[in-house]
Amino acid sequence: MKNEIEVIGFDDAPFKKNDKDCILTAVYMRGNKIVDGVYFKKFQKDGLDVTNKIIDVVKGKHYNKIKVIFLSGITFGGFNIADINEIYKRTNIPVVVVIDKYPNYEKIFNAIKKHFLDYNIRIEIIKSQPKPVKLDNIYVQYVGIDLKSIKKILEKTRLKSKFPECLRLAHLIGRGFLYL
């Protein structure tokens, strides 16, 4: 595996309570040092469209080069849930979700039931995803790739953080939208 493996990382920009739309931020990188693209896409806060928006970005300019899609969690813009199985199915590129802590599913499901009429759809999407697995000091959910390969790719895509650099940068760039 080469050091400059091509990866793309997705995070959401912060949003305000009354916002209807959110901004999806994506950073395409080679390894952990070379940024070759930064992308933005609007999606609905608490909607069900983030999966398609991620796929739209992935199938853009660098589609044939991307080896792994990294997501910062599976919920974006509140409870707009990314379906990693669907992303993998429609892109044929491995998907790896990276999170800090193991999710409290009971708390998440209760919040969804309280706030959404279509709670059954959202809960079913979450239940259909692979469960997070501890890997060193993070948790990962993944499809289309094995844990041993993820570990190698993380070694090549991290710089000084426990997260791949593409996710760290997507997060930092997204935070810039706080100042608009």
pLDDT tens digits, one per residue of 87-119: 999 999 999 999 999 999 999 999 999 999 999
> Structure tokens of 35?
């940024």
> Structure tokens of 61?
């300019």
Q: Of all residues in the chain, what percent carry a pLDDT higher than 90?
A: 88
d(CA 115, CA 138): 29
Q: Please provide the average confidence, as pLDDT, over all residues in the chain.
A: 95
Instruction: Give one DSSP letter per residue of 75-104, joined into a string.
Output: EETTTEE--HHHHHHHH-S-EEEEESS---
pLDDT tens, position by position, 104-160: 999 999 999 999 999 999 999 999 999 999 999 999 999 999 999 999 999 999 988
Break the chain into its structural domains and give their ranges. 6-102+132-179
CB 79 within 8 A of CB 122: yes
> Structure tokens of 94?
């491995």
Q: Give the global pTM.
A: 0.95
Q: In terms of CATH, what superfamily is 6-102+132-179?
A: archaeoglobus fulgidus dsm 4304 superfamily (3.30.2170.10)
